[in-house]
Structure formats: structure tokens, C-alpha cells
A and B are shown apart, each in its own frame.
Chain A
């Protein structure tokens, strides 16, 4: 069965510092992997996704993530945090196919300190 773990329910970084949000997954088949962002009282917005091909994936707002099969990880990074990055971040995994059930991690709340 698929599952997703996100290390750290809450992460604080200083403005301008590196953002690193950790995600590990389990899947019996090559997975599709996603990072979503949620601002307060809003729906989820896709930041980036990995399906096949290049393992370093670039997304919106300067975020990127690297798929590491050997480590079953898909950590999200951004070189320099901005105040507007404060939000909830969800990692998700899917086995794809015609029924694309997605399993979401519990989320990491990112705070950016001025």
C-alpha cells in the first residue's frame, strides 16, 4: 500500500534562508509524486510533480524537488525563503493509471521569520 510521511509538522525558517521540507513515500510501483501548497482557507495548488524522466523537478515560485528512488524521497527545496512562502505544504503519491488515487502526507506548516 502507498503511504507518505513528512518529517516535521512545523518548520520555521528565516527570510532568505534555505527551505527544506522532507517527504518519504512507499509504493509498490514507480510512483507519481507531487507537492501541493495550501494558503489559509484556500484549496490546494500544485507546486510541482514528478512522473517520469528527469529526477530534479522545478516548480512554481522557485521551488524544486528531487526524486531519489534509492532513498524513496522527494524533498522540496527553495534556495531563499520569502514571507509569501508561509503556508501548509503537502507531499502526495499516486500510482497513476485510469483511477488516480492520490495519497497525501499529513502536511508541513512552513513559517517564515522576518
Chain B
């Protein structure tokens, strides 16, 4: 069966510090991968998606970047965090145009 992992689960970082969030998927090959952000009391905002290794598409201009160094690994990064980067970050995967499966999320607080 398929499993999706995200770490860390929670993170508190100072403004201006770097960020690296990791997402890995097990039990499937060549998934589509997604990063979403959910601000407090808000819906989901799609940040990045990837249909293959090294293929990243950005949905909104922002302070973040994403990379996919391996088939089942998706990384969200920032060189310098802003206060507005705080939120709940969700990774998701899908195959063949049906539903997306979500990871447990990372709660990021930027102080």
C-alpha cells in the first residue's frame, strides 16, 4: 500500500532563516506530487506541482522553491523565511488523474 511521509511535523524558525521541508512517497512509481499551504482558517493554496523528476511548476510567485531530486521525493525550500510563510504545509501525491492523497502536514511558525 502507498504511504506518504512529511517531516518535520512542526517547525519554528526565525525570520530570514532557511527552510527545507521533505516529503516522500512509498508504494507507488512516478506519482504527481504537490505542495500546498494552508494559512490559519483558510483553504488550500497550491504552491508547486511536479509530474516527474526535475519537473517543477509553480502556481504562485513567492519566497519558496521546490525540487524533486528523486521519483518519490519532493522538497520545499526557502533561502530566507518571511513572517507570511507561516502556515500548515501539505504534500500530496496522485496517479492517473484521480484523487490526491495527503501527508500529515508540517506546521511552520516563523517568528
By the criterion CB–CB under 8 Å, are A101 and B46 in contact?
Answer: yes
Q: A99-B32, A99-B51 are in contact. Are A44 and B43 (CB under 8 A)?
A: no
How many A-B residue contacts, CB cutoff 8 Å?
57
Give how many A residues have a beta carbon under 8 Å from the other chain's beta carbons: 24
Determine the main DSSP class of B at the interface with A.
Answer: strand
Number of interface residues of B (CB under 8 A): 22
B18 at the interface (CB under 8 A from A): no
In terms of DSSP, what is the predominant structure of the interface of chain A? loop
Cβ of B102 under 8 Å from chain A: yes
The answer to whether A32 and B43 touch (CB under 8 A), given A42-B104, A43-B104, A43-B105, is no
Interface residues of A (CB under 8 A from B): 32, 34, 36, 41-46, 49, 51, 90, 94, 96-102, 104-107
Q: Which residues of B approach A to under 8 Å, CB–CB?
A: 32, 42-44, 46, 49, 51, 88, 90, 92, 94, 96-105, 107
